[in-house]
């Protein structure tokens, strides 16, 4: 009885911890998105300098990552040769800087709710690039699912009350660069047996992003910032904003490490709906019925895609377990035969 009770307590504790990790990640992701919107939107804090904001984030994150790895030894650094850094990390850093720049820029022109709807295209972009680079097998049913997601997003865009072409171009560009970055991580790092957790990723990638962002910043935003002489950097606003961005990376490490990447994808869908509700009820963004119908269609496509991924993962795990069982059975049979053969030989002697 005591054993059963301890087991149930252990299972309950595990479930509560998993939900806690999900809740922390949703809260931090939600906070960073809303905070960035608040800073960049001309009707709110009115600081429309997305490159500068991204540079502040990367400076803060790279500094903290350095201290966590080199000073506090929170995680061990990954062995990285100069050639590997230049051939793998630098291209990934360039793509990441472009993705962050464009996604932050989109908040100036589009509502939070509509941006989340456009982000539903991420699985479409990742799968299409995976097929292009031969990292994913082309399947007709998967491609049909991708088309249904695209159709849903197109309907949501058609129903958007504050549709801004330039904002949509920026967000779609961000999705394309982020999808390319994810595929490149698989090609350039994972295929070489190198995995980076969020802290080591920031340690290696954030300084690289910083360098790439400085080039457009000098020509695009620096002249405008010089003219804004009355502006003084608010350390409370930008410090807490950067801290939230860094904490979000740590929560990704925690969530994926303690649950799975698929759990994060499912949690991401919940977060998107919460952001849409928040955008409509608090920020007072207009969310039309056509918006919701289109995103609902896209949501069903994304949910089906996640379900298919889960089933494929379970099938691989089952096949792996069966394979291990077969190997162990063959090993046991061989050892048993050896024992029998040894016994017969001894009796003959």
Condensed to tens digits (0 to 9), the pLDDT of residues 158-194 reads 999 889 999 999 999 999 999 999 888 888 877 777 7
Confidence tier at 326 by pLDDT (50, 70, 90): low
26-44: average pLDDT:
92
Across 313-322, average pLDDT: 72
- CA neighbours closer than 13 Å in the CB half-sphere of residue 78: 23
CA–CA gap between residue 150 and residue 72 (Å, rounded): 46
**Residue 329 pLDDT grade (very low, low, confident, very high; cuts 50, 70, 90):** low
Q: Are 133 and 181 in contact (CB under 8 A)?
A: no
Query: What is the pLDDT confidence band of residue 61, given thresholds at 50, 70 and 90?
Result: very high
- Predicted structure pTM score: 0.82
pLDDT band at 338 (very low <50, low <70, confident <90, very high): low
Q: Check residue 341 and give its pLDDT.
A: 44
> What pLDDT does residue 314 have?
75
pLDDT tens by residue, 224-252: 888 875 667 788 999 999 999 999 888 87
Residue 105 has pLDDT above 70, yes or no: yes
Do residues 314 and 308 make contact, with C-beta atoms less than 8 angstroms apart? no
DSSP-derived letter for residue 70 is: I
Tokens of 234: 């608010």
Runs of H (alpha helix) within the chain: 2-40, 50-66, 82-84, 90-109, 112-118, 122-132, 140-158, 165-184, 198-220, 222-227, 235-258, 261-281, 289-348
pLDDT tier at 209, thresholds 50, 70, 90: very high
What is the per-residue pLDDT for 79? 81
């Amino acid at each position: 009885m005591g054993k059963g009770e301890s087991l149930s307590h252990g299972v309950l504790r595990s479930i509560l911890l998993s939900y806690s990790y999900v809740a922390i990640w949703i809260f931090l992701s939600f906070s960073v998105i809303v905070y960035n919107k608040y800073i960049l939107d001309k009707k709110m804090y009115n600081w429309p300098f997305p490159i500068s904001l991204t540079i502040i984030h990367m400076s803060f994150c790279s500094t903290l990552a350095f201290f966590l790895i080199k000073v506090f030894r929170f995680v061990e650094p990954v062995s990285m040769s100069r050639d590997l850094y230049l051939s793998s990390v630098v291209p990934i850093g360039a793509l990441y800087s472009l993705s962050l720049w464009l996604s932050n820029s989109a908040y100036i022109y589009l509502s939070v709710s509509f941006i989340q709807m456009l982000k539903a295209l991420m699985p479409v972009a990742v799968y299409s690039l995976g097929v292009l680079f031969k990292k994913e097998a082309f399947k007709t049913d998967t491609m049909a699912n991708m088309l249904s997601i695209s159709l849903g997003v197109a309907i949501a865009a058609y129903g958007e009350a504050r549709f801004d072409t330039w904002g949509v171009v920026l967000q779609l560009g961000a999705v394309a660069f982020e999808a390319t970055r994810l595929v490149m991580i698989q090609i350039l790092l994972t295929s070489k047996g190198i995995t980076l957790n969020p802290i080591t990723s920031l340690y290696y990638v954030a300084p690289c992003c910083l360098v790439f962002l400085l080039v457009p910043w000098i020509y695009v935003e620096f002249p405008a910032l010089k003219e804004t002489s009355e502006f003084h950097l608010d350390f409370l606003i930008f410090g807490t904003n950067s801290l939230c961005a860094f904490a979000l990376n740590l929560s990704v490490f925690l969530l994926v490490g303690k649950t799975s990447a698929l759990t994060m994808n499912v949690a991401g869908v919940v977060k998107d709906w919460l952001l849409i509700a928040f955008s409509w009820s608090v920020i007072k963004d207009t969310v039309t019925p056509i918006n919701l119908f289109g995103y609902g269609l896209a949501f069903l496509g994304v949910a089906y895609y996640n379900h298919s991924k889960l089933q494929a993962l379970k099938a691989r795990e089952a096949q792996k377990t069966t394979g291990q069982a077969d190997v162990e059975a063959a090993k046991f049979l061989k050892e048993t035969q050896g024992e029998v053969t040894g016994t017969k030989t001894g009796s003959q002697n």
